[in-house]
Structure 1
Amino acid sequence: MKRLHQSFIAVALVAQAGAVCAAGASPDGSAAPLQGETLILAVQKNLKLMYPKTRFDQVKATPLPGIYEVVMGRNVAFVEESGRYFIFGRLFDMESQEDITSVAEPASPRQNQKIDFATLPLDSAIKTVKGDGTRVLAVFSDPDCPYCKKLEQELDKVGNVTIYTFLMPLEQLHPQARSKSDAVWCAKDRSAAWKTLMLSGKAPATVKGCEGPHAIVSATAEKLGISGTPFLVAGDGRTMPGAVPADRLNAWLSTSDKPALAKGAK
């Protein structure tokens, strides 16, 4: 029921976004508004222009006026006509109690599902030691993800932890994220470069011919069902998605058991 309630909220937000966008895009009477297939083609054109690196498998109208469902591989989003605003989630018809989203939601770890920390390829992550580093945390993060930046602000307040940051640029949403990830990975001090980028917005200089371990991180994320950022894994394998306040992070980390030795750990 909680999941259904959350989905209902998401749909309400979609409807609200559609209403706002429609208000801003009202025709002035000089031309008839686009309709049907013509409008869908226009949305497709906007998406391809704005996100040339993203493969859009399907665009179709939804029962919500001005809102379109977009399928991108394993991901599904809902957009308004301009293609600027995306909402990720499920779309429910509350009257019929049916999920009318096109494809099944990608498998992802639930908050109480555990991941074997010992299987994480830590040599493909940025290692940051704070204080005595006794607590252990892995974070899957995107440099252009606003929630990831918020999380970094909160992590900056957390002490006595060793953080392994896996760079996971979501290029379909953030076209510049991969190049920024490469620049951080190829910096002399990866940890400092990451902190500066996320807290100050200043990216390090790029290094020609150098790139991050994207294939390894992507394969790991796919295997574990991690499809969004930020995503946290505690030393004992507990998982938590999203940005959370520092006090909650401290409490969550303090209940973690000592992890098994992970691959690449030093």
Structure 2
Amino acid sequence: MFTPFAYRRGPLTAMFFATVLAAGCTSVPPEDIIRQTLTERLPNLPKIDEVSKTPMEGLYEVRVNKTEIFYTDRAGNYLIQGELIDTKERTNLTEARVEKLTALPFDSLPLQDAFTIVRGNGARKLAIFEDPNCGFCKRFERELEKLDNVTVHVFLYPILGPDSVVKSENIWCAPDKARAFSAWMTQNVVPPKASCDTAALQRNVAFGQQNRISGTPTTFFADGTRVAGAVPLDRIEQALAAAK
């Protein structure tokens, strides 16, 4: 992640504004001014992917590295790193924007490398990338057990160390993957040693790295929405309803 630092007003920026003023160009789009200013003053800033207005008057979003969000004024004089909160609607606009940017079409998920847990009629669906040694994942699984009428595709994603790989392999090779996984995640019943073809786990890690799945649990809903972390049950229900 880029870390903002003190900037300088360089000759290119000065020339740019001098040209604008001399030509009487008072309608230069703020997006162009912001790009020019930040590129000149912050040479270590990654290439700007997009500059766009936010709901807050005079505040612009600057997007870099595909999903990194910063904010700035219309002249690019200040750069803000943080979250934008809509106090009226009580929503985190930054979080919502990042979720939209990191969405992944559900049908692009390699479901053949996951195992499935069905509860009730299984009408609703979601997919989760989880490390068996992730404490947040264990807490999340206890919440998921309260869901009904849902199909859960579980991707074992061993990224927390060698023991995660061992546990993932044993779960993947168990006669009943879902039962072995649930027993470990909710009751701490260690999955018995087993062996089989575990190439799926390597593909899961490669897929996650390609798609910026940097932590567990990471959940994908039917509409492609991505949610990181062990979120509360009501948040899951909201996302499932919205995914329809």
Q: Does 1:185 align with 2:172?
A: yes
The 5-angstrom pairing of residues 1-266 of structure 1 reads: 110-113=98-101, 114-170=103-159, 173-211=160-198, 213-257=200-244
- Paired with 1:168 and 1:153, the residues of 2 have a C-alpha distance of 18
- Paired with 1:208 and 1:226, the residues of 2 have a C-alpha distance of 27
Q: Please give the TM-score of this superposition, normalised by the length of structure 1.
A: 0.53
The CA deviation at 1:174 is: 3.4
SS of 2:100's equivalent? coil
- Paired with 2:184 and 2:199, the residues of 1 have a C-alpha distance of 16
Say if 1:111 and 1:240, in contact at 8 Å, map to a contact too. yes
Percent identity among equivalent residues? 35
- Paired with 1:209 and 1:122, the residues of 2 have a C-alpha distance of 18
Say if 1:126 and 1:191, in contact at 8 Å, map to a contact too. yes
Flag structure 1 segments of 5+ consecutive residues without an equivalent: 5-96, 100-108, 258-266
- Paired with 2:133 and 2:118, the residues of 1 have a C-alpha distance of 23
- Paired with 1:239 and 1:176, the residues of 2 have a C-alpha distance of 27
Say if 2:129 and 2:155, in contact at 8 Å, map to a contact too. yes
- Paired with 1:209 and 1:245, the residues of 2 have a C-alpha distance of 35
Tell which structure's C-alpha radius of gyration is larger: 2
- Paired with 2:196 and 2:238, the residues of 1 have a C-alpha distance of 42
**Cα RMSD between the aligned structures?**
2.3
Aligned residue-pair number: 152
The CA deviation at 1:175 is: 2.9
4+ residue runs over 4 A deviation: none
For CA contacts below 8 A with separation 6 or more, give which structure has more relative contact order: 1
- Paired with 2:174 and 2:183, the residues of 1 have a C-alpha distance of 12
Say if 1:136 and 1:234, in contact at 8 Å, map to a contact too. yes
